[in-house]
Amino acid sequence: MKEYEHRALETLGLALDRLGQFDEGIEVMLELESSSKSVGDRRGEGWGLLSAGYFSWHSGDWDNAELYLSKCLRIARDIKSDYMEVYPLGHLGLLYVGLGIHDKTYLERARQYLDECKQKALPATSREMDCKSHQNLAQLNLTLGNLEEAEKFAQKATQLATGMFHPYYEADALRIWGQILIERGMLQEAAAKLIESSSIAERIDGKYVSARSQVQLYRIQALDTGAAMDTEVRKKYAFENVLDYMKAYKFHGLRSDLYLWRAYSVLDSDLGAAKQYIANACYEGLLFNRFSCDRALNFTRTTIIPLLKNHEDVQDILKYLMDFTTNGRHLSESLISFESNQRTKGHIEAARVSMLTQIQSMLSEVSVKTST
């Protein structure tokens, strides 16, 4: 009976993750790990840890993502399961790509894990991870700026997903392909891939993948005057509609990105609104993890500030962010609400300190430029 119970838990956890209910999915998978461990089922224990790690990546808890996935990898090697081994290799590789955006030393580790995953996937008869390794290598090369190589991997990942009738992976591969095309300046082609990705994901209730594609579709609107998408499509993926789509889910990292592109789009017409959107992006970033918050501030430094026409506007935005970070009602309420969760409260407090330091640094840079 335990075997059927474990299969049911695995199926339930996967469904919860794809619906965007990450915390609930992690809880189910840790139950699978514990139950499997109690009866000496090391495979079940490994699969529970694998999914708990992958879902933790989605939720923003990257420390536990690395912990769970590394434990799964050790179990796979202990029991000499080549089939199981390729899964944590691929997922750890993607995690290290994400970390590598903020610390380049992780990128070489990401490449090692992803190359090993790709080499072992087919001999281990895992078509699923063969597809996923190509997608993750597309993400790695996108991060490194190797856009032609990234597109080749994304195209191959899409072909593999389509060939094995895996709509979730197909939607996700199309999503990363669309992001690569944005970076290549091919906005019309990017929009077509992202619309297809979102549509496929919606058909299977893949809320997280659909939301990721929708954020990128709004990004295209922020970058483009209208040529890439017709009026009806622009309306469907307007800022308010994408934000509304995500309101029922803990997609804090995606909301942070959406607010940043909204700030970018209104910067010339409404500086006051842009300030609030940047603050919202930082707030959502804090709720996701410290890396997302750093991303919001780096976007402000490298993309928003260079567009401003005078130093007074730059100082206005930075002082607004300083006040928001120091006295913001939302941040204070969040810290109170996480009183019983010391891990989350601790990471928000640490991220807020880091945020203040970075804002002070940007203010100092502006002051130096103004004085010279």
Splitting the chain (372 residues) into consecutive groups of 10 residues, what average pLDDT does each group show?
78 90 94 93 95 94 95 97 95 95 92 94 83 95 97 97 95 98 96 97 94 97 84 94 93 96 94 93 87 90 90 89 76 54 64 81 72 54
pLDDT at position 354: 80
Q: 278 in a domain, yes or no?
A: yes
Residues 6 or more apart whose CB falls under 8 angstroms from that of 275 comprise: 263, 316, 317, 320, 321
- Burial class, 3, CB count within 10 angstroms (exposed 0-12 / middle 13-18 / buried 19+): exposed
Model confidence pLDDT, tens digit, residues 180-216: 999 999 999 999 999 999 999 999 999 999 999 999 9
H-state helical runs in the chain: 2-18, 22-38, 42-59, 62-78, 82-100, 105-121, 127-144, 147-163, 167-183, 187-203, 207-223, 231-236, 239-246, 252-266, 271-288, 290-299, 311-327, 329-337, 342-371
Count of Cβ atoms closer than 10 Å to residue 109 Cβ: 16
Q: For residue 339, what are the domain limits?
A: 252-372
Q: 44 in a domain, yes or no?
A: no
Model confidence pLDDT, tens digit, residues 38-84: 999 999 999 999 999 999 999 999 999 999 999 999 999 999 999 99
pLDDT at position 345: 63
Distances (CA, A) of 185 to 69, 182, 210, 225, 228: 35, 5, 22, 13, 11
Q: How many residues does the chain have?
A: 372
pLDDT at position 181: 98
Q: 156 in a domain, yes or no?
A: no
Percent of residues, the chain, with pLDDT higher than 90? 69
- Its pTM stands at 0.91
Distance of CA 266 to the CA centre of its chain: 24
Q: 365 in a domain, yes or no?
A: yes
Q: 184 in a domain, yes or no?
A: no
Q: 322 in a domain, yes or no?
A: yes
d(CA 277, CA 279): 5
SS3 content of the chain, % helix, strand, coil (to 5): 85, 0, 15
Distances (CA, A) of 2 to 8, 105, 283: 10, 43, 43
Counting Cα atoms < 13 Å in the Cβ hemisphere of 249 gives: 25
pLDDT at position 352: 76
* Count of domains forming the chain: 1
pLDDT at position 343: 55
Q: 181 in a domain, yes or no?
A: no
pLDDT at position 368: 58
Count of Cβ atoms closer than 10 Å to residue 101 Cβ: 14
Q: Are 150 and 108 in contact (CB under 8 A)?
A: no
Taking alpha carbons only, the member of 256, 162, 163, 178 closest to residue 210 is: 178
Taking alpha carbons only, the member of 203, 153, 89 closest to residue 161 is: 153
Q: 263 in a domain, yes or no?
A: yes
